[in-house]
Structure 1
Amino acid sequence: MAVSVRVPTILRTYTGGESEVTAEGANVAEVLEDLDAKYSGIKGRILDEDGKLRRFVNVYVGNDDVRFQDDLATPTPDGTEISVIPAVAGG
């Protein structure tokens, strides 16, 4: 299933500057695998060494944060928009 993935500025070095790319997968984990096959190294910036979402990276399927859904098993139906958003901290 083809999905659209919005890539934050900080990760665009992996996508040749593209802000939006297409990937395949039935769930978030499969989409990240496909992204990494196309854009080597990008998955390592989204997932930690244990294969979990990095603490300061948020992933949305549509308008829903996957941490409040099924995490990496969250389904990604055909045509879904996925957004990778780095958390912003400051003070």
Structure 2
Amino acid sequence: MPTIKFTANLKRFYPTLTAVHSDALDLHSILEELEGQFKGLRDYVVDEQGQLRKHVNIFIGNELIHDRVKLSDPVQPDDEIYIMQALSGG
């Protein structure tokens, strides 16, 4: 099962957010599963068109995903997926 991990800054909105396992075979399906467990989380990750937000990066292993529009990147059972929000400010 792929393991999904998150940056700590999402914990302020979802205090119980920890690494999650999924049976999904692509990134889009993983995000749908996460929404079922953590209502509203998907809105932090994708925009109104379902595309990855500009301030969010997702890595499968050590590689940045390729499809930021349809989120169709495949995942393997032993993959680790990292969802990261960029921090900005001054």
Same fold, TM-score > 0.5, yes or no: yes
Q: 1:32 to 1:15 in 2, by over 3 A?
A: farther
- Partners of 1:64 and 1:34 lie apart in 2 by 22
Q: Which structure has greater helix proportion?
A: 1
TM-score normalised by the chain length of structure 1: 0.83
Residue ranges of structure 2 left out of the alignment (5+ in a row): none
Distance 1:82 1:65 in 2: 10
Q: What TM-score do the two structures reach when normalised by structure 2?
A: 0.83
Whole-angstrom distance in 1 between the partners of 2:46 and 2:15: 17
Deviation of 1:47 (Å): 0.4
Compare the two structures and name the one with the higher strand fraction. 1
C-alpha root-mean-square deviation of aligned residues, in Å? Answer: 1.7
**Runs of 4+ more than 2 Å apart:** 12-15, 88-91
Q: Unaligned regions of 5+ residues in structure 1, if any?
A: none
Q: Which position in structure 1 is the counterpart of 2:14?
A: 14
Q: Percent identity?
A: 28
